[in-house]
Each structure stands twice: as C-alpha cells, then as structure tokens.
Amino acid sequence: MPIVSCRISHHSEVYDDAVIAGTEYPGLEALGEEADQVCKKSFAEFVGISYEDSGIDFSRYIPTEGSWESGDRLITCVARAVDMNGNWAQTTGTLKNARW
C-alpha cells in the first residue's frame, strides 16, 4: 500500500491495525469476521461517530494463507470517503475526527 501525505488527494487512510494470535490459519471467513470487529470497534474512535451513523466506509486487509505461512498476522483497517453513489471519493486531509 503506497504511503502519501494527507495534503495530497487520496482515496483511503489507514486508521488502525491489529496483530492476530494463533499458529494455524483460521481461514478467510473467520479472519474477515475478526477484522470487521476490530475495524468497527476502532472506527468511531478515529472518525468521531459510529460506523452506522457515518458517511465514511471502511475496508480491511487480512492475511492470506500464503502470507500467514510467512508470518503475517496483521489486520489493517482503512477508512474511505464515499460519494453519493457509494463510490470511493478522493479526499485531501485526514478523516480523523471528520464526524460525518
């Protein structure tokens, strides 16, 4: 994932990450559910309002089976502004405390 300054137009912003415990790969569905819980929990803290009340969406990156075997245990939460049609919108600045 490329890193850019918030002063430059961008479509997403990393707002949290978490390391998963475990030795055996739990599968994409289980990891996805865990990632959703992690990301929703920290979303309100970052944006300033709950995910359900926000016009900002989130996505997450989770380990694949191959990356898990290489030691990857990282969930990465990404906030994304969306336009009226639900498409990703370009933003300048941070979404931290955006409260929308």
Residue 17: which of 80, 77, 94 has the closest Cα?
77
Q: Please, are residues 80 and 56 in contact by the beta-carbon 8 Å criterion?
A: yes
Place of tokens 């969406």: 57
- CA 15, 76, 19, 41 dihedral sign is positive
- Alpha carbon 58 to its chain centroid, in Å, reads 5
Neighbours of 87 (CB within 10 A): 10
> What are 25-67's pLDDT values in tens digits?
999 999 999 999 999 999 999 999 999 999 899 999 999 999 9
Across the chain, mean pLDDT equals: 92
**pLDDT greater at residue 43 or residue 90:** 43
Which pTM value belongs to this model?
A: 0.89
> First CA to last CA across the chain, in angstroms?
25
